[in-house]
Structure 1
């Protein structure tokens, strides 16, 4: 079934591996990969506006083939309206919390391929607080949006990283994306 998908949304908590999975899907299916963080953020951690994000995203979702990773609940409806499938990384909080802490410590001062140029990984207490409380904040909005997935859009919900890797046909554990 993986091969039949042409427009895929990858969602889940911060640190769950959305970018890793989106990149693997893009490689496997020959689909362009778009990271919501790259659309939203400007160099040096300057936030874009919602209008800028929506304009960029409209252009992307108008395409016939893509993998888009990221939550951004305010624009999820735009993606879901055009998606064939949603891959939901609904892992236990200790999985993504551990990964996020590791990313913040190990990747300190390095860029990531899923981020805008000039956005180096830093130890950001405000972001960590948001991510730590994801179930109460972003998780609520994500679940509400996914409850309204249009008919015909397949939702693949993975509860453990091994399930996602197995679905991809990769008998390996999660590996962080290479650093830029």
Structure 2
């Protein structure tokens, strides 16, 4: 595991897991949200995000967390491991509400500067519909990625146990 991508619904804990894995495995961590969002919640273009990822994946080792399906193939083609946090909708909704409270009026460490935590209707609905709309597409993509080690967790306890077993 030297080139790891972490995917899953908003609120699943991708960034937290990336940080923990980075510390344990001594790998550099890249949060796609930090690359995608400029101050004031301005987004970069798909092309800018793709260019940034192309540079990252050329490195010897990395952990990249985030979905961004429009550029997911860049990571899939270069990763050796995918960790898919496929948690329940309720668990992920809890995660985004908890995060909103925890980082009220602050910017998360895994987010672009000048983007104080917010929880709007659009994001809430995206997380609420993730299992029905996004998860099947991701499962399909992963089923075709035969060169990858795919690790899927359906509950945070599994993720915690995985971390505890790492050297």
TM-score where L is the length of structure 2: 0.93
Counterpart mapping for 1:96-135 below 5 A: 96-135=92-131
Shift of 1:13: 0.6
**Whole-Å Cα distance in 1 between the matches of residues 12 and 6 of structure 2?**
10
Kindly indicate whether the alpha-carbon contact (under 8 Å) linking 2:96 and 2:119 is maintained by their aligned counterparts in 1. no
> How big is each residue's C-alpha offset from its partner over 1:132-157, in whole Å with a ceiling of 9 and x where there is no partner?
111233323322322221x2310001
Helix, strand or coil for the counterpart of 1:59? helix
Correspondence 1:155 to 2:150: yes
Kindly indicate whether the alpha-carbon contact (under 8 Å) linking 2:6 and 2:65 is maintained by their aligned counterparts in 1. yes
Uncovered stretches (5+) of structure 1, i.e. residues with no partner = 171-180
- Structure whose residues are more often helix by fraction: 2
The equivalent position to 1:139 in structure 2, one of 126, 135, 140, is: 135
Q: CA RMSD in A?
A: 1.3
For this pair of structures, how many residues does the alignment match? 165
**Deviates further, 108-117 or 140-149:** 140-149
Uncovered stretches (5+) of structure 2, i.e. residues with no partner = none
**Whole-Å Cα distance in 1 between the matches of residues 98 and 21 of structure 2?**
23
Correspondence 1:54 to 2:60: no
Helix, strand or coil for the counterpart of 1:134? helix
**Whole-Å Cα distance in 2 between the matches of residues 152 and 95 of structure 1?**
30
Corresponding residue for residue 22 of structure 1: 18
